[in-house]
Structure 1
Amino acid sequence: MTFSILMYDRETGSFAAAAATGSLCVGGWVLRGDIESGLVASQGTAPSTFWRDDVLRRMYSGDRAEAAVAQVTDADPGRGHRQLLALDRCGDTGGFTGMQSVNYAGHMTDRDLAIAGNMLAGPQVLMAMHEAAEGEYATLSDRMLAVLDAAATVGGDARGLQSAALLVLSPERPPLDLRIDYSDDPLPALRTLCLRAHRSPYYDWLTEVPVLKDRYRAVLPDAS
C-alpha cells in the first residue's frame, strides 16, 4: 500500500521524510515529525495514528526509537496488520512490520535512515530506495524526491500511486510539509509543488518566523 523513508542529516541537524501510496492522503495518514523528537511513519492495512503519536511523545521524552517502537507495538494485539518506522533526535532508528502485512512488506533500518513498505512490487523497491538515499543531492528535498522516484521506477506500490508527501524539519528553517492528496501522477506533482514553494513570493517571509535556533524571531520595527 505504501512506501516511506525517514532520514537524519547529521551535518545540518535536519530531518526529512517522504511517502507515497496507491490510495489517498498519505501525508495525513502516515508521516509525523517534530524537530525536538524526530520522525515517525505509521502505515499498513490498518494503520494506527495512535502508534504514530505515542512514539513521537516517547521520543520527545527521551526514549530511543527502537525502544519506543517496541513499547508501542508490543502492547497492540492488532499489530499484525500494521507497520511502523521511527527515527529519534539522535539519529537512532526502529521499525516494525506486522506478520499480516500484505506482501511484499518489509523494512530496513540503519543509523540516520529507515525505510519501509507494504503491498510493494517486491524487495527491490526497498533496495532501490536505500541506494537512492545514499546519492549526492543539493538539498534534503531533492534527496527525498529522488528516493520516491527510485521506488516507483522499480514497481513501487503494486497498485500504482495516488498520493505523495514530503516533510523536512530543520533547526534553522520552518517546517516544509508538502502533500499531494490525490493525483493520477503524484510524484511529478509533488516535485512541482516543492519547486513552487521554494520560488514563492512568500519564501522570504520564512526568514522572519520562529525556528528552533530562534524561537522568538520576528520582524522588528524600524527604530529610525
Structure 2
Amino acid sequence: MTISILAYDPETGTYGGAAATGSLCVGGWVLRGDAESGLSASQGTAPSTLWGRAVLGRMRGGASASEAVVHVTGPDSGKEFRQLSALDMHGGIGHFTGAQSVPAASARTATGIVVAGNMLLSEAVLEACMQGYLAATGPLAERLLAALDAAAVAGGDTRGLASAALLCVGRGQAPLSLRIDYADAPLLALRALYDRSQAQPYVGWTREVPTLDDPHRAPDSAEDVPEIIARAQP
C-alpha cells in the first residue's frame, strides 16, 4: 500500500502532504512540493518521480492541478501502473489512478483535499484517511498525521507499514520535511520526529531563517542569537 493525502489550509495559506507505505523511503518516492508550485504525490506499482516533478512545473507555470495531471499522465505508455495526485496554489486538486494499480486503488476528494492509495486492505481506508483529517483539529501537520493514523486503523496496507513522511510548505514559514525511511512503527516514529521539530531548540531556529515572504530574515546581530538557537544550526 501507499496512502497519501494532500491538503490546503486556507486559514494559514499553507499546503501539506503526508504518506505511508509498506516499502522503504515513501517521502523520497512520493511527496514533492514548494510554496511557489504546490504539492504532488506520485506513487503506484512503478511510481514515476518524473511525474511528481513535472506536475509541479506545470502548476508553477499557471496550470491548474487537474490540467497538470492530464498533461503529465496522458503521454506515458506506462501510466496504468501509476498514480498521481496534485494540489495547486489555489487549493485546486487533480488525480489519476492507472487501471493496473494493485487494488484496492482509488482516490477521494473534498475541497482542497485529495487522498489516494493503492494496495489497500479496502477502499474504506481512503475514506478513513479523509475523515481522519476532517475530524482532526490543530495545525495542518497534526491533522495530516491524524489522517495517516486513521488510515492505518482502518486496515491500511496488507503488508503493514515500513515508512512514512510529512511535508508542509508556506510562503511565511520554513519548509517542514520529515521522513521515516524505515521503522517497525513508522507512524509513531514520524509523530515523535514531528514533536521534536516543534520543540526548542529547533523550532526557535526555524523562526530566524529566510522565507518567501521574508527572504532576508536573519537575527539583527550575533548577540541577538540565543544560545539555544545557535545550537540548533545544521
Q: Name the TM-score, length of structure 1 as normaliser.
A: 0.97
Deviations along 1:95-128, one digit per CA (max 9) or x if unpaired, are 0000000011001223310000000000100010
Equivalent residue, structure 1, for 2:10: 10
Structure 1 runs not aligned, ≥5 long? none
Structure 2 runs not aligned, ≥5 long? 224-234
Q: Is the 8 A contact 2:21 2:161 kept in 1?
A: yes
Aligned length: 223
Q: Which amino acid aligns with 1:214?
A: D
Identity of aligned residues (%): 55
Equivalent residue, structure 2, for 1:178: 178
CA pair 189-68 structure 1, distance change in 2 beyond 3 A: same
Q: How does 1:83-122 map to 2 (within 5 A)?
A: 83-122=83-122
Structure 2: how far apart are the matches of 1:130 and 1:109? Answer: 8
Equivalent residue, structure 1, for 2:232: none
Q: Is the 8 A contact 1:4 1:115 kept in 2?
A: yes
Q: Which runs of 4+ in 1 moved over 3 A?
A: none
Equivalent residue, structure 1, for 2:190: 190
CA pair 21-219 structure 1, distance change in 2 beyond 3 A: same
Aligned CA-pair RMSD: 1.2
Equivalent residue, structure 1, for 2:78: 78
Secondary structure at the counterpart of residue 174 of structure 2: strand
> Aligned-pair distance for 1:222?
7.1
Q: Is the 8 A contact 1:95 1:108 kept in 2?
A: no
Deviations along 1:55-80, one digit per CA (max 9) or x if unpaired, are 00000010000000001100101000
Q: Is the aligned partner of 1:168 residue 2:207?
A: no
Q: Is the aligned partner of 1:23 residue 2:26?
A: no
Q: Which amino acid aligns with 1:127?
A: E
Structure 1: how far apart are the matches of 2:61 and 2:30? Answer: 21
Equivalent residue, structure 2, for 1:205: 205
Q: Is the 8 A contact 1:27 1:165 kept in 2?
A: yes
Equivalent residue, structure 1, for 2:139: 139
> Aligned-pair distance for 1:141?
1.4
Equivalent residue, structure 1, for 2:123: 123
> Aligned-pair distance for 1:177?
0.4
Secondary structure at the counterpart of residue 134 of structure 1: helix
Structure 2: how far apart are the matches of 1:202 and 1:100? Answer: 43
Structure 1: how far apart are the matches of 2:7 and 2:210? Answer: 23
Q: Is the 8 A contact 2:29 2:42 kept in 1?
A: yes
